[in-house]
Structure 1
Amino acid sequence: MSDTAPEGAILQRDKETWAIVPRTPMGMLTPEIMERIAAVARKWNIPVVKITSGQRIALVGLREEDVDAVWDDLGRDIGRATELCVHYVQACPGTAVCRLGVQDSLALGAELEAKYVGVDFPAKVKMGVSGCPLSCGESKLRDVGVTGTKSGFNVHFGGNAGSRPRVGDQVGEGLSREDALALVDRLLEHYRTGARKRERTARFVERVGIGSILEAVGGAAS
């Protein structure tokens, strides 16, 4: 085994095989994407294909020497799973199909995905977008969360699941799409410049205080 991990791969429990996570923005799949993943799994004898909690598909059990070739077959749309950047934007169906949706969560999620995926941050960043207050996109447990309401979008910051869970602070209420995106941009820029390396947004909020953050980004908006 080499000293350098294959690009976009995660070493598994057996210390011999690897997992990769192709990008599937907001969990949206087409027949072509599913056919390509299925073909790759068959060709390379990948033993485990797993849907992740972040609406992605993990291919698990690859041999190290096969990882680059598998990425080539997938089209090299690498989903980052360990780097210090935005790992994913998850979203519920929203008004696209759900009878309870009051805002277009998929469209907003796509905008966030296009703008932030690949941007470096002090630690990994996860985003959730929900089309109604039921919050099926897990917005309040993500570093950045947006929740649709009848009056607009609420923005949350500093959420985290895992071993030290934290419900994100609501920092904007009833915002237009444009204002919600602008607030997210200010929050992430402040986090990018003010957080310590590998300090998630939840720990950043706990260290500096949400009041300090709101003061820095212009205060809560509604």
Structure 2
Amino acid sequence: MTETKKTDILEKGAIIQRDGETYAIAPHTPAGLLTPAILRNIADVAEKYDLAAIKISSSQRIVLVGLKEEDIDSAWADLNMKPGSAIGICVRSVRVCPGTTFCKRGKQDSMSLGLKLDEKYHGVQLPAKMKIGVSGCQFSCAESAVRDIGFVGDNNGFKCYVGGSASAMPRIGDLIAEGLSEDDALALTEKIINYAKEKNSKKRLGKLIEEIGIDTFKTEAGI
């Protein structure tokens, strides 16, 4: 009898690894913020289940690698953290730089905006995956211009880029707004995400914009 090949377990946030046997899980860490207690607990879980590695991801998550399938549920219970949306068709991540909260170069409060976007949209189901970046200055440490929705702070507020991607076919997002307040940025994000839902395209925003044109996108999205 042929053994069934293991795959990702979406409902448990478990990603099959290269060995075809073990899994990785990624707890949700909004804006990459952690506490000593969280770090201690993650270390305890890694030791308890004899994990192969603890890996910091580019999406500001801590990934626990090498978990046996029968240990997935108990590991999540021990972590007592929500899964990060590292897989699935949804808002995958909201990547956030330190902004004016911590960074001497910050021009805008990226932490405040990023945490609000994370709370509202992280894991929200969409027709295609989406990534969001929020940077407090034009050094753009959250790489906002290559996110589906990206914000970059300057002296006048936030700029908004849309349709960026760092995939196999990289694309710099289109600049669609400048001088945005935090409230403006939240309202604009809602328009873009509502448009993505209504359009119901399986293409990421950049591909869709290339097909219909940025002006048509702005008109249809009410921007």
Query: Which residue does the alignment assign to 2:145?
Result: 140
Q: Tell me, what secondary structure is at the counterpart of 1:126? A: strand
Q: What is the count of residue pairs matched by the alignment? A: 218
Displacement of 1:137 after TM fit?
Answer: 1.0
Displacement of 1:37 after TM fit?
Answer: 0.5
Query: Which residue does the alignment assign to 1:89?
Result: 94
Query: Which residue does the alignment assign to 2:83?
Result: 78
Query: Which residue does the alignment assign to 1:43?
Result: 48
Aligned equivalents of 1:66 and 1:209: distance in 2?
48
Please, what TM-score do these two structures have when normalized by structure 2? 0.93
CA displacement 1:160-197 (0-9 Å, x = unmatched) = 00211101111111111111111111011111211423
Displacement of 1:3 after TM fit?
Answer: 6.4
Checking the alignment, whether the CA contact within 8 Å between 1:144 and 1:155 is kept in structure 2 is: yes
Checking the alignment, whether the CA contact within 8 Å between 1:172 and 1:180 is kept in structure 2 is: no
CA displacement 1:52-99 (0-9 Å, x = unmatched) = 011111111111111111111111411121111111111110001111
Q: 1:4 to 1:15 in 2, by over 3 A?
A: closer
| One-letter amino acid of the structure 2 residue matched with residue 209 of structure 1 | G
| One-letter amino acid of the structure 1 residue matched with residue 216 of structure 2 | S
Checking the alignment, whether the CA contact within 8 Å between 1:195 and 1:204 is kept in structure 2 is: no
Q: Tell me, what secondary structure is at the counterpart of 2:47? A: helix
Q: Tell me, what secondary structure is at the counterpart of 2:105? A: coil
Q: Tell me, what secondary structure is at the counterpart of 2:108? A: coil
Q: 1:157-168 counterparts in 2 under 5 A?
A: 157-168=162-173
Checking the alignment, whether the CA contact within 8 Å between 2:7 and 2:16 is kept in structure 1 is: no
Please, what TM-score do these two structures have when normalized by structure 1? 0.94
Checking the alignment, whether the CA contact within 8 Å between 2:159 and 2:179 is kept in structure 1 is: yes
Q: Tell me, what secondary structure is at the counterpart of 1:73? A: helix
| 2:185 counterpart of 1:155 | no
Q: 1:68-217 counterparts in 2 under 5 A?
A: 68-197=73-202, 199-217=203-221
Checking the alignment, whether the CA contact within 8 Å between 1:159 and 1:169 is kept in structure 2 is: yes
5+ residue gaps, structure 1, are none
Task: Give identity over the alignment, percent.
Answer: 47
Query: Which residue does the alignment assign to 2:59?
Result: 54
Aligned equivalents of 1:29 and 1:148: distance in 2?
24
Superposition RMSD in Å: 1.4
Displacement of 1:5 after TM fit?
Answer: 4.3
| 2:104 counterpart of 1:65 | no
5+ residue gaps, structure 2, are none
Aligned equivalents of 1:148 and 1:3: distance in 2?
44
Aligned equivalents of 1:158 and 1:2: distance in 2?
35
Aligned equivalents of 2:19 and 2:6: distance in 1?
16
Structure 1 stretches (4+) deviating beyond 3 angstroms?
A: 1-6
Q: Tell me, what secondary structure is at the counterpart of 1:203? A: helix
Displacement of 1:118 after TM fit?
Answer: 2.6
CA displacement 1:187-209 (0-9 Å, x = unmatched) = 11111211423x21221212222
Displacement of 1:125 after TM fit?
Answer: 1.2
Checking the alignment, whether the CA contact within 8 Å between 2:6 and 2:21 is kept in structure 1 is: no
Checking the alignment, whether the CA contact within 8 Å between 1:108 and 1:129 is kept in structure 2 is: yes
